[in-house]
Structure 1
Amino acid sequence: MSAASTQGQLGSKDHLEELHTPDLMTVASQPQARKRPAPRGTGAYARKRAVTACQVCRARRTKCDNKKPACSFCEKTGAKCVTEPTDYSAFDPASLKILERLERIESLLESQPRDKPDSLQRQDDPVNTQNEARRQDSAGQQPSRSLQIVSSEVLGWPIFGNQFGLQANAIAVLRRKPPKPIQPSSSALESFLGNTSASNTLITNFIQHVHIKNPILELSSLKRMVQHACLEGVGWDPESCLVLLVWALGAISTPFQQPPQPCDRENLELGAALYGAATKRLGIVFAESGILSAQCFFYAGVYLMSMFQPVSAWRHFLQALAYCQEFDFAIEASQNPQTLTSPPETSPTEQRLYWSCWKSEVELRICLGLFDFQTQDRVYPGHFPNPPANPEKDDRAWFFYLAEISLRRLNTRARNDIGQILSSSEVEGEDTEARLIEVVDSYDQQAEAWLTSLPETISIDSNPLEDDILKFILRCHLVDFNELIFWTFIDRVVNSKERLSEDMIRYACRGFTTCADRIRTAGLGHWYRHHGTWMLLQSCARSAIVLLAAAFSEHTQSLLPDNWAHSVEACIGMLNDWKDEDAGISDQAMILGQLLQKFNN
């Protein structure tokens, strides 16, 4: 998409400059007033506005339309709309800027013709209207086999002639235990407990390398719990379990940098010991309910993902999400999927926790291809989580968190809309190519709008070699989205024996290029052990298998990018770097090597 067309979609040049406000982080880094609003310059508030406007609009110094139960701005952003006089110093300028930016991004995305395919249907049909509402609000639903974007599905394509048999069964492979499991070090655990200096080091690692990607904890509360555990000893309660999990993640986390700094064996063994101590307390946590229980199971899942145990991690994410269903706003969202507001008693911590549990469970469930769970609707709230009352010093983490959620919502809508087209075509027997092209063009434009609207501090319109972990993850998520919207064209071009249209070939070419782009992008950070490493390797293996599938097909060889073979070799190298920790990855590396050797011969 050209720069001119992008500006045409997003508005004037002034509007674009407003989206990329250069002094936003300067404002975010200013000291915050804790009790009185005077230091925020409240003398600039017009008296008539302060009397009638809600707290958020007063803090933004904009006109409030006083709609009930929430004004228009609060309704769109999901902010708590309160009109009673109170201390509104908690609404810091950076958070308000984020909410304004999200409102504009959401307006841009919603203004795109993403529902074009449904315009071909009868608009007065109440059944169509109901189906549209369900499709927009279900999360991760895969109504068509063509949207099973997993390696096992690709290995089952006719081009491979069913030669891999049970090796293509992803779940059977994933249930194997690691070839060389990390053994916990009891001596390291004994020397660590009570060592305040060592605890501080792990807490710092956790905040810098784990919390920054999922800010679901109030750090002041975490530090209080850690201090209590250091002074009084680790107890048998949910707080102690959470502290042990935080320490475990701090032990195995490393900086995202070049050259890579892998975690040494000693820290891996300490992490295993701390995690083992935490699991002994998960039974107590299981009997409880509320935020602490959800946080414990979520971080247990993050640890398991970091240690390449995806099936176990998914069970923990699912359990964490089950605890989140007790939150008031989640109950309201499930009863009324169209709601954009949250109850007054909903805390920002609950909202952020729900989002992290939801996206982690959905992404992993889709990656694993757990078909028995794909037919269930998973409803998510229509609002973004509110910013914390007192954001941490690095507001880039908050920008990243909301940008990731925004793209995940876009991914969910695209998956459901494309799946709906494919499902309806199977029932009605109609040609779906025109409708697919229409909806893919729409989502391609929305992804471009999302990319252009990113704040400057996390913009990925830069050299990938200069990425930090936040930009790296966003770049990988964007590749995931591009793969999704072009996947049907890839599938049909490789497997169809009929004459293909120029449009079908053109979009398939973009899909093959996306596969090569994924492997190149992932190569910059595949060595970094974190929550998403296993899924990153799975997606690279899938992309390499797709490239090989196209290479084995005579009518698609010419559609491949020039560097496709190098991409496959690079993917094999990445998988071999981790093959000792996961049998499935070892098998995938072997399969890719066999296929590449067969092609070269």
Structure 2
Amino acid sequence: MSSQSSLPNMLGPSPTGDIDRPDPASPPKRKREPARMVYPRKRALRACEACRRRKIKCDNQRPSCGACLELEIECNIGNTKNDRSTYDSASLEILERLEYAVGLLEASRDTPFTLPVQITSPAELHASPATAQHHTTPRSIAWSDDNAKGDVEILRESLEIAGRTSQVSEDILAWPIFQNRFDRSLTESLMFDRHQRCNKEDISPTVIADAVRTAIPGRGIREEDVPFLINKFLVNVHIKNPIVDSDDIKRKGRMTTEHGFGWDASSCLVGIVCALASISSQFTAEPVIPALVDGPNAITSVTNTPEYSTAESYYVASQKRIGLLEDSIITTQCHFLTGVYEMYSLRPLKAWASFNRACMSLQMCLRGQPRRSKSLERKLYWACLKSECEIRMEIDLPPSGLAKVNYPDAFPSPPATSPVPPGAPHGNLTSSGPSTAFATQHAEPDAELIWCYYVSEIAARKIGNRIMNCFYEQDESTWLTMPLPRMIRIAEELDLQLTQWFANLPEVLSPSSGDHQAHPVKEELKFMLHPRLLDFRERIYRPFLYVCLSHTPSDPIQDNISPYAQRHVQTCTNALLRGTPRHRHHGTWYENRGMFLKSLLLIAAVKSRKVHVADIWRKGVQFCIAGFKFWEEEAPDLQQARFIVETLLADLGRTGSLGLATE
């Protein structure tokens, strides 16, 4: 029997006896639509535990099946977390694809790209662009692929600065427009050897004593001053790096007042806290102006810090104890605050060593000890990471590896609701110290305000790292090979992120409306955030200035590059016109370095005559020089920076380039 005759006649026999022969009089059949993918639904087959034990059919009703409802017993279907028997094929396929994508992300996170460690001499660290060895990184490969995937690779998140830190202030001196006029190694040697001072006449270093910080006698170490100093620390220093518990440090201070300084970790922590309190002062937004540092009544940062000698005494006492401590959270706090003090006293190399030890100590704590205070760990983690990145943006130093610790929290957690209303005093610290009025006039700041500032700083640092990893993994010669349309696209995206960060600051930190220069923000935390906007925007558009200076004025590329180079010049001018604050804080050395860098960039733009620079730029550079004069007694590298800027200004005056640059 043929297969055709075995088929049933579903329509019944026709009058002619033929099977399924179409009737000519009947209307034509509708055309069959093309088959579409249909996922068959699968009925749930999992019975509850009671029905399985009784071996009866379960109707799978929820929250209780019919049998359990009739018996009035609990209906338990067991662990259904990984049970997919109730999923249809479409859902299963979607889950499979999601699991694959998550696997790729976790694989890329768990196997980060690392650069090979090479031990090189100082001369090799700063080889010329023609001879320097460049590493090929994922981002440098992505620059060659002009597509969305490449953009994502370039802009990807990073907690640390990858590779060698390029384009620090001394790197600008190597730009062709300066014609190797200055030896960058001299400024760097003054950073690495703080007991040298530049002689302006012959540029030869002469040995000076570190006693400059102890020239003015102070109160010295007094246990009865500790409560007052702790309160001063909480107001002046803690607000920017809240890595200690306020109540805990007060308790440790009371113990020290009663029993004196011991050789334990608590005494070490109290000692460095007192050092920071002694060197710090109430915030003032006033910049250093030329009239302040010129003439017979000129003042310097040392004469402006009356308790510098006392601060050094507490600092030395804490350093005698810190080497005896084992890895712990309190040891990490001691190392970190030591680094903060060394930044307050303009010792960046010592600060890097302290921050590095803090990072290493914290890694040991996170890996090897039970986690007791997660909130404190979060703050320490981000404080250490942020401080390390900041210093590596100015000095080419190796990372600690803390960024590779897979820490789960994107930001520190917000503080618990404070029982004390904002603006009310937090606690009562009495003291027989130098000024009991301080404790009553300056209440401990609100914890929520501190947290808002801290999180805003971390968010800005993430954008800053993204900028560094986009444009600064290699030296400036790579900017000339980057596709210009893509450079513009990436720069505008980074600028948008930066603008959104600044526009969406918490209300308590948002800048006041109006001109920032005409109405400077008085509150310290607000004042500290505005330079972040200018510093990172300058870094976004610096490559465009370099490309502009590297091409002739008649080159067609100038039409496309000029608006972005102009944006860079305007950012530098705005930053310089803010001046260098006379207020001492963690970022004082960074501010002076930033002023030096922006002065060099503006002078390069003026000298090139390829970018329009408003005449007010000279006032900004004079503010920069005044800042150097104020702070250079503590930092010889700033004195050398002043000599370089003054020499370049004199050269411009001789060549007649001090006027407006041609448009």
Instruction: Indicate whether the TM-score tops 0.5.
Output: yes
Is the 8 Å Cα contact of residues 415 and 448 (structure 2) preserved in structure 1? no
Match of 2:574 in 1: 517
Instruction: Please report how far the alpha carbon of residue 396 of structure 1 lies from its aligned counterpart in structure 2 after TM superposition.
Output: 1.5
Is the 8 Å Cα contact of residues 155 and 168 (structure 1) preserved in structure 2? no
* Structure 1: distance between partners of 2:285 and 2:575: 19
DSSP-derived class of the 2:633 partner: helix
Match of 1:439 in 2: 490
DSSP-derived class of the 2:231 partner: helix
1:449 and 2:500 aligned: yes
Match of 2:652 in 1: 599
From the superposition, tell whether residues 456 and 134 of structure 1 become closer, same or farther in structure 2 (CA, over 3 Å): closer
1:162 is aligned, of 159, 177, 180, to 180
DSSP-derived class of the 1:211 partner: coil
* Structure 2: distance between partners of 1:186 and 1:156: 40
1:210 and 2:237 aligned: yes
1:234 is aligned, of 249, 261, 268, to 261
DSSP-derived class of the 1:529 partner: coil
From the superposition, tell whether residues 291 and 120 of structure 1 become closer, same or farther in structure 2 (CA, over 3 Å): same
Instruction: Please report how far the alpha carbon of residue 135 of structure 1 lies from its aligned counterpart in structure 2 after TM superposition.
Output: 4.9
- What do the CA deviations read for 1:32-62 (whole angstroms, capped 9, x no partner)? xxxxxxxxxxxxxxxxxxxxxxxxxxxxxxx
1:176 and 2:194 aligned: yes
Match of 1:294 in 2: 332
Match of 1:220 in 2: 247
* Structure 1: distance between partners of 2:541 and 2:148: 27
Is the 8 Å Cα contact of residues 285 and 521 (structure 2) preserved in structure 1? no
From the superposition, tell whether residues 507 and 259 of structure 1 become closer, same or farther in structure 2 (CA, over 3 Å): closer
From the superposition, tell whether residues 185 and 546 of structure 1 become closer, same or farther in structure 2 (CA, over 3 Å): closer
Match of 1:120 in 2: 146
Matched letter for residue 410 of structure 1: I
From the superposition, tell whether residues 181 and 432 of structure 1 become closer, same or farther in structure 2 (CA, over 3 Å): farther
Match of 1:136 in 2: 157
Match of 2:353 in 1: 315
**Matched ranges for 1:412-427 at <5 A:** 412-419=465-472
CA RMSD, Structure 1 to Structure 2 (Å): 3.4
Matched letter for residue 179 of structure 2: G
Instruction: Please report how far the alpha carbon of residue 444 of structure 1 lies from its aligned counterpart in structure 2 after TM superposition.
Output: 1.2
Computing the radius of gyration from Cα coordinates, the structure with the larger value is: 2
DSSP-derived class of the 1:148 partner: coil
- What do the CA deviations read for 1:300-322 (whole angstroms, capped 9, x no partner)? 11111111110111110111011
* Structure 1: distance between partners of 2:627 and 2:218: 31
From the superposition, tell whether residues 254 and 424 of structure 1 become closer, same or farther in structure 2 (CA, over 3 Å): closer
Match of 2:622 in 1: 569
From the superposition, tell whether residues 594 and 379 of structure 1 become closer, same or farther in structure 2 (CA, over 3 Å): farther
Match of 2:42 in 1: none
Matched letter for residue 639 of structure 2: S
Which residues of structure 2 form unaligned runs of 5+? 1-141, 197-207, 288-298, 419-444, 655-663
DSSP-derived class of the 1:284 partner: coil
- What do the CA deviations read for 1:323-360 (whole angstroms, capped 9, x no partner)? 122344x899xxxxxxxxxx986611000011111111
DSSP-derived class of the 2:364 partner: coil
Structure number having the greater helix percentage: 1
Instruction: Please report how far the alpha carbon of residue 502 of structure 1 lies from its aligned counterpart in structure 2 after TM superposition.
Output: 2.1
Q: 455-464 or 513-522, which moves further after superposition?
A: 455-464
Instruction: Please report how far the alpha carbon of residue 480 of structure 1 lies from its aligned counterpart in structure 2 after TM superposition.
Output: 1.4
- What do the CA deviations read for 1:259-282 (whole angstroms, capped 9, x no partner)? 689775541000001101011011
Which residues of structure 1 form unaligned runs of 5+? 1-115, 333-342
* Structure 2: distance between partners of 1:572 and 1:351: 39
* Structure 2: distance between partners of 1:244 and 1:201: 13
From the superposition, tell whether residues 358 and 181 of structure 1 become closer, same or farther in structure 2 (CA, over 3 Å): farther
Match of 1:529 in 2: 584
Q: Relative contact order (alpha carbons < 8 A, sep ≥ 6): 1 or 2 greater?
A: 1
1:487 and 2:542 aligned: yes
Match of 1:57 in 2: none
- What do the CA deviations read for 1:76-102 (whole angstroms, capped 9, x no partner)? xxxxxxxxxxxxxxxxxxxxxxxxxxx
**Number of residues paired by the alignment?**
456
Matched letter for residue 516 of structure 1: T
* Structure 2: distance between partners of 1:133 and 1:542: 25
Q: 382-391 or 547-556, which moves further after superposition?
A: 382-391
Give the structure-1-normalised TM-score: 0.69
From the superposition, tell whether residues 155 and 185 of structure 1 become closer, same or farther in structure 2 (CA, over 3 Å): closer
Matched letter for residue 507 of structure 2: E
Is the 8 Å Cα contact of residues 317 and 361 (structure 1) preserved in structure 2? yes
From the superposition, tell whether residues 563 and 193 of structure 1 become closer, same or farther in structure 2 (CA, over 3 Å): same
DSSP-derived class of the 1:369 partner: coil
Instruction: Please report how far the alpha carbon of residue 189 of structure 1 lies from its aligned counterpart in structure 2 after TM superposition.
Output: 6.1
Match of 2:318 in 1: 278
